[in-house]
Amino acid sequence: MFPSKKPSMNSHERPICVQGDSGLVLTTDPKPRLRWTVELHDRFVDAVTQLGGPDKATPKTIMRVMGVKGLTLYHLKSHLQKFRLGKQPHKEFSDHTKDDISFQLYIYIYILHLKSCSRNVQITEALRMQMEVQRRLHEQLEVQKHLQMRIEAQGKYMQSILEKACQTLAGENAAAASSGCYKPGLMMEVAGAMKDIGSPVTFPSLQDLHLFNNDHLDHLHDGFFPCTSETLCLGPKKRPNPYSSPNGKSPMIWADEELPEEASKSPVNGGLDIESMTREVYEAKPMLSGDSAARRAQVPAPEMMSPMIRGGVLNQARNLSYG
């Protein structure tokens, strides 16, 4: 269902991973990246739960709760945002938007209708309905992914505005250059404010997008580079320098912070991998949506479908699940 479009990357070209003593898995390619392993993600999810859910938790508090050495706010911020974004389809289905209610009704009525049909028709109809559900889920998945990219684009552009401003001001006010545009006091505070925000829309990371396994992501992986808002990480054609201010200064706000690189998830090999990886990451998590969304879609009459279909569908749905 998810054919790999990246034949060039397979397991033996994956960068070697080492396990740090804090349990963090770092790769040894030229740019050490953080890998969100199953355990790490579990701890993350536990921490988030403890803190009252993804809407209440902030990167700072998560970091404290997790207490993992070497894990920085940046890692957490992007991971959190991914997490939040991915949690939604769960809400989508439970929102009473007319779309979804009528869709669920539609499913239900269909099931009722099935009861009166012959077995063959039942199977066909059931399959068709399942495809409908999957189509929906898939569409939503698409939207989510694109939304992510669009948010990032604006973030990146925003950064360029700030950088430009810095240069413009510095250029214009040679006399006032002492104040310049780099005011550590103000910016540290703002930086502090921004860190605290754990903003929903900054610093997204593509690192978990292995779950999506889609063409777009594959070619995003091409040029993929740590994807924090101050880096230029978009576009398949370029391998940009993340700190590209012409005068070599690092981007204003984060000047004092070390700028970590986000993990680049090793690209997907094929549908099976997706499924197993997905399952690994999300299987036992009751609050995550993937399975429950699939389950809910089937809820009307699970007993009506043959075990074969149901099993197949569950697997399919899990492929789509994105937490």
- Distant-in-sequence contacts of 301-309, Cβ < 8 A, 24+ apart: 301/111, 301/114, 304/111, 304/114, 304/115, 304/122, 304/126, 305/126, 306/123, 309/123, 309/126, 309/127, 309/130
Q: Between residues 236 and 311, which has the closer beta carbon with respect to another protein?
A: 236
* Rounded Cα distance, 251 and 231, in Å: 9
How deeply is 9 buried, as exposed, middle or buried, from its count of CB atoms within 10 A (0-12, 13-18, 19+)? Answer: middle
* Rounded Cα distance, 292 and 205, in Å: 25
Cβ 140 to another protein shortest distance, Å: 6
What is the binding site for another protein (CB under 8 A)? 55, 58, 81, 84-85, 87-88, 91-92, 95, 97, 99, 139-140, 142-144, 146-147, 149-158, 160-162, 164-166, 168-169, 172, 181, 183, 186-187, 189-190, 192-194, 196-197, 199-202, 216, 220, 232, 234-238, 240, 252-253
Cβ 3 to another protein shortest distance, Å: 16
* Rounded Cα distance, 184 and 255, in Å: 9
Q: Between residues 4 and 199, which has the closer beta carbon with respect to another protein?
A: 199
Q: Between residues 81 and 122, which has the closer beta carbon with respect to another protein?
A: 81
Cβ 259 to another protein shortest distance, Å: 17
Cβ 181 to another protein shortest distance, Å: 5
Cβ 95 to another protein shortest distance, Å: 7
Q: Between residues 17 and 169, which has the closer beta carbon with respect to another protein?
A: 169
The answer to whether the CB of 232 falls within 8 A of the CB of 159 is no
Cβ 177 to another protein shortest distance, Å: 13
Cβ 183 to another protein shortest distance, Å: 8
Q: What is the DSSP letter of 304?
A: G
Find tokens 């070697």 and name the residue: 16
Q: Which residues contact 257 (CB under 8 A, 6 or more apart)?
A: 74, 191
Q: Between residues 183 and 295, which has the closer beta carbon with respect to another protein?
A: 183
Q: Between residues 122 and 155, which has the closer beta carbon with respect to another protein?
A: 155
- Residue of 267, 291, 263, 220 whose CA lies nearest to 44: 263
* Rounded Cα distance, 261 and 248, in Å: 18
Q: How do the residues of the chain divide into helix, strand and coil, expressed in percent and rounded to 5? A: 60, 0, 40
Dihedral pair phi/psi, residue 278, rounded to 5° = -60, -45
Cβ 81 to another protein shortest distance, Å: 7
How many residues are listed for the chain in this entry? 323
Cβ 13 to another protein shortest distance, Å: 24
- Residue of 243, 238, 235 whose CA lies nearest to 260: 243
Q: Which residues contact 143 (CB under 8 A, 6 or more apart)?
A: none
